[in-house]
Structures are given as C-alpha cells and as structure tokens.
Amino acid sequence: MVGPVKIVMLLTDGFGGLGGIAKFNRDFMQALDASCVAERVYVFPRLVAHPIDEAVPESVVYDRKAAGGKFAFLRRVLRYAWCGSKPDLVICGHLNLLPAAWLLARLRGARLALVIHGIEAWKPRSWLYGLMLRSVYSFIAVSRYSAERFAAWSNVSKKQFFILPNCVDLNLFIPQTRDVKLIERYGIRDNNLILTMGRIASQERYKGFDEVIEVMPELLRRFPKLKYMIVGDGDDRTRLEEKVKSLGLSERIIFTGKIAEHEKVAHYCLADAYVMPSYGEGFGIVFLEALACAVPVIGSKVDGSREALQGGQLGRLVDPMLPEELVEAITDVLTVGSSRQRNNLVKCLDVTYFKSRVTEWVMAQSAKN
C-alpha cells in the first residue's frame, strides 16, 4: 500500500504569479492537495509578484518569505534543509532552480524530480548542470517536444520522462457572447478581431506578436475592418507600439495592457480567431483557454504549440517564419467563421484529468521508495 508522501517544491512562482508556468504550478499544487497521496507540501516560491487572491490548498505550506529575493529564497531553503521535516520527494519546478533543489535533496537524502517547461530547457547548460542532472530521479515535461529537446543535450533517457500537459478548467473557460462593455471600451463593434494574449517581454519575443503585426497590412487588404488585439503587458510593449506606429497601424492594433483575471474569458470571446505563431513555446496554455471558449486557434508547427493543438486537430498550424502561411491561415479562419461550439477533444485537457495524472505520478514515486 502506498503511504503518505511529504513533498517539498521549489518554484519560480505560483500563487500571486502570472503566466503559464505560474498557472501550471498552481494547478499542480491543487492536484497534490486533491490527491490521497500527498500528506504535506512545503513550497518555496522564488517570486510572489502580486497579491494572492485565491485560497492556497489546505495541505500546502506556502512560504511567502522565500520570495524576498535570491538570498532570501536560498536562506529559506537552507533553513528547511537543516530544521524542517525530512521530505520524501523534492520537486524542482524550473531548471534555473536546480542548484538549490539539488542541494536540498542531497542534504536530506530525498528523491529529486525536475519539471521541464519550454525554451529554458532546450539549450545546453554548463557541465555543473550535467552533474546535478545525474541525481534527478524523475522528470516531468509539459510536452514531448520539450522532453526531446532537453534529452538531446542532457543525455537523460526519455524513459525517465512523465508527460504532463497544461490543463484548462472547462467550467470556468466557456463560450460566451461578446461583452457589450468591452466592445465599447475598445471600439470594435463592426470589426473582425484577431487576438493574442501573453506577456510582452523582451525575453519572450518568440510568442509571435511581431509576426502578426508584420502581416497586418496584407490582412487589411483582405479584411478592411480587421483589428488585432494584444492582451498583456511587459517591458517590450514600447518597442511594439513604436513598430505599429511606423507601419501606420496605430488605429488597427489595440494594446489592452494587463487585464483583470475575471475579464479573461470575456476578452477571449471577443475574438474571431486566437493567433499565436510562436517559435519558443513549450506548450501554450493560452491555446487551451481560447479553445475552451470555442475560439478558432492558429498556432505554430515548430514548437510545443503543435501538441497543445493535438497535431492540428484542435486548430491550424503554421510556420511562423513563413508569413504567407500565417496570412492564408488567418484568411481561411475569418472567411469560414466559427460555429462557437467547443471541440470535444478539449475535454482530454481538462483540469480533472490533470489532477488524476498528478496523482498517478506521485503514487509511482511513492511506490519506488
């Protein structure tokens, strides 16, 4: 019989965080709490960038003091290593945190697991990382693509990977009619609308904002009333706004800035198509959210997006380096229109299935103890 497991997690962020990795981490903690295997989960977040506005699961001890900077994070981890209860399993939620997680696992004699997300794990790291990776007992990857890219340089066996895609709450992200207040806010009453949602960060230019902006002149020749909405904010926004201005597209491209979480579904449901021709996504939870809202999706065939879109079964796949492919895909979707009916294949990526997969993985780790 599998006994209760004490778990320590080192995370970049989770509760109080934004973006796909933070969402994955929250879902993972909630799945551990819902499982019958995890007794207690001690979590050390590297960042808590925003107020925590949702309940932290009962079994999770979320150490906010660890989010006080690099030294505070390391100090809290080392303090736990000396004074905390012995964990059965240490889960490192990001490759950048592996040195701290490796040290904690070594000091306490615990098994070490590593979560692989996307581009951060695709390129070779130093020999020191190679040494630490030998001590990792189990790997979780959000996509087979990321697992393969990581395995190619790390020499980790693919047999050590557990594929755990991102998930979406199908009871929260649901098809809706266009919100009248948002239509008035953005001035899009008579417009076709394509949309991308995500951080506008200089380190994440792979998301495809530039690629969509660059094909807008051609799209406007085909759809004169088209507008492109970019939902999100970040340090690269000014550059994009200058680019838009230089192309004479200021009246056609909308920068919403950061939006409230409760407005997310309504923004998806404004769109005639969700478009993100990325080349560095490990998976892309935004695709699932848009699909759950019954919005047609166009993604990339050259990164983990193709797995989120089930190899093209859930949306159109394009090469982001080929503008003509992107233009034709958007043209086809806007011409055909949408039935606003959710594809049933999305059900396999529901949060309920995610929780069952997490329980399956933890039980497997416990059974090996």
Mean pLDDT of 114-120: 94
User: 5-167+350-367: which CATH architecture?
Assistant: 3-Layer(aba) Sandwich (3.40)
Q: What is the pLDDT of residues 137-150, one digit of tens each?
A: 999 999 999 999 99
Q: What is the pLDDT of residues 214-255, one digit of tens each?
A: 999 999 999 999 999 999 999 999 999 999 999 999 999 999
Q: Which pair of tokens denotes residue 324?
A: 């003509």
- Say if strands 5-11 and 38-45 run parallel, antiparallel, or are unpaired: parallel
Sign of the dihedral defined by the CA atoms of residues 202, 208, 211, 216, in that order: negative
Q: What is the pLDDT of residues 272-283, one digit of tens each?
A: 999 999 999 999
Q: Which residue type sits at 306? A: R
Where do the domains of the chain lie?
A: 5-167+350-367, 180-349
Which residues are within 8 A (CB) of 55 and not within 5 positions of it... i.e. 6 or more apart?
none
Q: What is the pLDDT of residues 297-334, one digit of tens each?
A: 999 999 999 999 999 999 999 999 999 999 999 999 99
Which residues are within 8 A (CB) of 292 and not within 5 positions of it... i.e. 6 or more apart?
168, 169, 170, 173, 174, 342, 346
Residue 367 has pLDDT above 80, yes or no: no
Residue 1 has pLDDT above 60, yes or no: no
Q: How confident is the model at residue 3 (pLDDT cuts 50, 70, 90)?
A: low
Q: What is the pLDDT of residues 27-78, one digit of tens each?
A: 999 999 998 888 899 999 999 988 898 899 999 999 999 999 999 999 999 9
Residue 15 has pLDDT above 50, yes or no: yes
Q: Quick check: do 5-167+350-367 and 180-349 share a fold?
A: yes
Which residues are within 8 A (CB) of 284 and not within 5 positions of it... i.e. 6 or more apart?
20, 166, 276, 278, 299, 304, 305, 308
Q: How far apart are CA 241 and CA 237, in angstroms?
A: 6
Which residues are within 8 A (CB) of 205 and not within 5 positions of it... i.e. 6 or more apart?
236
- Please name the fold of domain 180-349: Rossmann fold (3.40.50)
Q: What is the pLDDT of residues 165-220, one digit of tens each?
A: 999 999 999 999 999 999 999 999 999 999 999 999 998 899 999 999 999 999 99
Phi and psi for 106 in degrees, rounded to 5? Answer: -65, -45
pLDDT computed for residue 369 by the predictor: 56
Residue 366 has pLDDT above 90, yes or no: no
C-alpha 249, offset from chain centre: 29
Does residue 367 contact residue 360 with C-beta atoms inside 8 Å? Answer: no
pLDDT computed for residue 246 by the predictor: 97
Mean pLDDT of 104-108: 96
Q: What is the pLDDT of residues 348-358, one digit of tens each?
A: 899 999 999 99
Residue 4 has pLDDT above 90, yes or no: no
What count of Cα atoms within 13 Å lies in the side-chain half-sphere of residue 30?
Answer: 18
